[in-house]
Amino acid sequence: MLRKLSSLILVGVAGLAMSGCSGGGGTDGAATGSSAGAGGGNDKIVMGFAQVGAESGWRTANTKSIQESAAQAGIELKFSDAQQKQENQIKAIRSYIQQKVDIIAFSPVVESGWDTVLKEAQRAKIPVILTDRAVDSPDKSLYKTFLGSDFVEEGRKAGQWLVDEYKDSKDPVNIVELQGTTGSAPANDRKAGFQEVIGADPKFKIAASQTGDFTRAKGKEVMEAFLKSTPKIDVLFAHNDDMGLGAIEAIEGAGKVPGKDIKIVTIDAVKDGMQALADGKINYIVECSPLLGPQLMDLSKKVLAGEQVEPRVVTEETTFTQEQAKQALPERKY
């Protein structure tokens, strides 16, 4: 109770701190937090969630899942959108520490550079849960658990599709790669997993590889450049659906047929990606589930109740062919 009362005073100060961190576009924790929990003097669990941004269909679905699950679980959510900037996420986390929330969860935009702020949370005795993306800190005591996909495995699955698709061909296969945000766990891990599988056969060559920052606009822009600089492109590997969808626009703009002239494999399986797969414009999608909200709320309650939780909780995921996408689309939730 004392902790909740003192937070009544601090929340005003924290509100000022937060107003500098959301950059105007997204929601932020101090602005969207309701009157309960840390600021309202009741016993509701208060969670501060520092989101990466709104860069993709996946991220929008992830935010919705977290907001809806918090409401269903009776957890008060203070939510901030970092607009893909690490400094904004750090400011948001510091604000949650000042507000003395009960628990902090966040999806780190990049892997490095978190130790200082995580130590601040630890000193304030506020447990932290990583969702979706990992940090590279060797000190695992800085967070209670990491909930999310196995991105290396996703990259391997994309590579395996390619190996199977070209198993009867001896000709060189020229690949262009649209990487996710530089320094992020999904970009690093998907690249590594993909390379591990295709690297076993020298006919697979990555002719060009560049970041498209997980956005549709950048995916289009970089693919346009690839089409100009790389004379023969057989395959596009895009680290997410949105960049793949942007690239499809670039490929069509160049008078080529996506899915035929250039085969495309992506990761996520959001509705727009699944529609393009069903329409034959994408050839294969490796699923990455954004529906992390229910597990996150469950883990948070356990952590705050002092129960032991697994240090790593891996999301269950599948893959989709064009036929499977047609079947799955009517029921697809995001």
The answer to whether residue 213 forms part of the interface with ligand AHR (CB under 6 A) is no
Task: Count other Cβ atoms within 10 Å, centred on residue 164.
Answer: 10
Nearest residue (CB) to ligand AHR, 11 versus 276: 276
Pick the closer one to ligand AHR by CB: 15 or 212: 212
240 touches ligand AHR (CB under 6 A): yes
By CB under 6 A, which span of 17-25, 42-50, 54-62, 251-259 interacts with ligand AHR? 54-62
d(CA 233, CA 157): 21
Binding characters for ligand AHR, 264-283, by CB under 6 A (x = yes): ---xx---------------
Whichever of 240 and 295 has its CB closer to ligand AHR, that residue is 240
Give the CA distances from residue 88 to residues 15, 85, 148, 191, 259, in Å, rounded to whole numbers and listed in that order: 14, 5, 22, 26, 38
Read off φ and ψ for residue 81, nearest 5 degrees: -110, 115
| Residue 308 tokens, joined | 């032991």
Residue 176 and residue 236 in contact, taking contact as beta carbons nearer than 8 Å:
yes
Near ligand AHR by CB under 6 A: residue from 56, 69, 160, 300: 56
Q: Are residues 247 and 236 in contact, defined by beta-carbon separation less than 8 angstroms?
A: yes
65 in contact with ligand AHR (CB under 6 A): no
Cβ of 136: how many Cβ atoms within 10 Å?
A: 14
**63 forms part of the interface with ligand AHR (CB under 6 A):** no
Query: Contact region for ligand AHR (CB under 6 A) — 18-26, 31-39, 50-58, 161-169?
Result: 50-58
Number of residues that bind ligand AHR (CB under 6 A): 13
- Residue from 29, 50, 51, 55 binding ligand AHR (CB under 6 A): 55
Could you tell me the two tokens for 243? 């960049």
Beta bridge partners, 47, equal 77, 103
* Residue ranges in contact with ligand AHR by CB under 6 A: 55-56, 58-59, 132-133, 186, 214, 240, 242, 267-268, 288
